[in-house]
Amino acid sequence: MMHTSTHAATGQHLLLDLYGCDAALLSSLEQLTLLIKNAAHRANATIINSHFHHFGHQLGVTGVLLLKESHMSIHTWPEHGYAAIDIFMCGDAEVDQAKTYLLAAFKPDQHTSQKINRGLYSNVFPPVPA
């Protein structure tokens, strides 16, 4: 849900673990930044801020997009062919569109995906009067 609304504060948090990915891709700051931003656009999310960090030659990358709808993050371990991605989106953003795009882009040999609903109990607390 958009932070600027007073709708129920619920969202979907997708944890995506990708195994057997190309090591060069997982060590490329430029490619990973592009892929994560593309995924956010596929989900119709709005990017507020982006920061990606490369730990060094042939080492991993860690990065995050702050979104109007929450965030996306990626952490990679090229030496294991492994990437941990999370996508937390509220409102009308389409988490599954981002997931589909990322699986096609990273081409993992195996992956696991867990979707967790957030903020389920927030309706027990009525909005605070302005």
Residues near a copy of itself (CB under 8 A): 1, 3-4, 6, 8-9, 11, 13, 15, 17, 19-20, 23, 48-49, 51, 53, 55-56, 58-60, 62-64, 66-67, 70-71, 73, 75-82, 84, 86, 88, 90, 109-110, 112, 114, 116, 118-125, 127-128, 130
**Residue 9 to residue 28: CA distance in whole angstroms:** 35
Active-site residue, selected from the candidate residues 13, 70, 71, 111: 70
**Residue 86 to residue 100: CA distance in whole angstroms:** 13
Instruction: Report in angstroms how near the CB of residue 5 gets to a copy of itself at its nearest.
Output: 9
Verify whether residue 75 is a known catalytic residue: yes
CB-nearer residue toward a copy of itself: 33 or 76: 76
Instruction: Report in angstroms how near the CB of residue 18 gets to a copy of itself at its nearest.
Output: 10
> Cα dist. 127→37, 38, 92 in Å?
33, 35, 21
Is residue 72 within 8 Å of residue 98, measured between CB atoms? yes
Cβ count within 10 A of residue 71: 18
**Residue 102 to residue 36: CA distance in whole angstroms:** 8
- Give the residue numbers annotated as catalytic, written as ranges: 70, 75, 90
